[in-house]
């Protein structure tokens, strides 16, 4: 684990698995005709996208009065750790803050690229900004898939926790995860987006395991 600094009371670390993830993106995006620099540009794209996403969670946590958090950038993207006893609506806001920040970063990147002279005349920015916008569009949409541990999965369960018992909220959210996540897996395979399909398929499997635990023990398995 590499500690890269702190913002206020929130510490930020990078797990070695995040370096592997970045390396994978560099390899997959390498094009001999364009040159290695267009593959290496994914290093700042992934770092900024994941970091801002997780800092949005941490900032919302702090604004709600739950203090500092521990942000970890890892192979699954990132995680924000904070020991809190929040109400369902607060947890839902914290979950939604991450994808919302991704969409904001997407809009800002497009605006700067299209509306400023520097954005489309500087070679580095002209390559970086549209890719940063596209990455954050997909990152925001990916995290809204209603399957835990993605933000959409947590937000879905917290939404139902505002009106229902913990047990009923778990049952409804788990079946939304299994059916909704399964539909996304089918769509991703048909669209040949195999990386996303495998990711979501694994999360759907974990949701099904939680359901099996619930059937055997009568309590949520998380």
More confident residue, 120 or 183: 183
pLDDT of residue 192 exceeding 90, the answer is no
H or E stretch including 70? strand 70-74
* Predicted confidence (pLDDT) per residue in 50-83, tens digit: 999 999 999 999 999 999 999 999 888 889 999 9
pLDDT of residue 28 exceeding 70, the answer is yes
According to the model, what pLDDT value does residue 34 have? 66
Q: Is 116 left (phi over 0), alpha (psi -120 to 50) or beta?
A: beta
Supply the DSSP symbol for 129: H
Backbone angles phi, psi at 4, to 5 degrees: -110, -5
According to the model, what pLDDT value does residue 2 have? 84
Per-domain residue ranges of the chain: 145-222
pLDDT of residue 159 exceeding 80, the answer is yes
CA dist 100 to 36, 60, 68, 139, 219, Å?
32, 11, 20, 10, 32
pLDDT of residue 153 exceeding 80, the answer is yes
Calculate what percentage of the chain has a pLDDT beyond 90: 60
User: Given the DSSP bridges, would you call strands 10-14 and 2-7 parallel, antiparallel or unpaired?
Assistant: antiparallel
């Amino acid at each position: 684990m590499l500690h890269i600094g702190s913002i206020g009371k929130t510490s930020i670390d990078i797990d070695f698995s995040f370096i592997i993830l970045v390396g994978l993106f560099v390899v997959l995006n390498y094009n001999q005709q364009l040159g290695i620099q267009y593959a290496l540009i994914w290093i700042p794209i992934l770092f900024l996208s994941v970091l801002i996403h997780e800092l949005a969670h941490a900032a919302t946590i702090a604004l709600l009065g739950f203090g500092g958090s521990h942000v970890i950038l890892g192979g699954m993207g990132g995680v924000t750790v904070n020991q809190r006893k929040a109400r369902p609506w607060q947890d839902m806001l914290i979950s939604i803050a991450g994808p919302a920040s991704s969409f904001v970063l997407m809009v800002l990147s497009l605006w700067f690229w299209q509306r400023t002279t520097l954005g489309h005349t500087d070679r580095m920015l002209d390559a970086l900004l549209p890719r940063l916008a596209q990455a954050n569009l997909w990152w925001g949409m990916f995290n809204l898939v209603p399957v835990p541990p993605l933000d959409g999965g947590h937000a879905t369960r917290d939404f139902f926790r505002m009106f229902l018992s913990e047990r009923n909220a778990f049952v409804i959210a788990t079946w939304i995860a299994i059916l909704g996540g399964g539909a996304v897996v089918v769509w991703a395979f048909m669209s040949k987006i195999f990386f996303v399909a495998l990711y979501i398929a694994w999360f759907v499997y974990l949701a099904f395991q939680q359901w099996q635990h619930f059937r055997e023990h009568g309590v949520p398995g998380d």
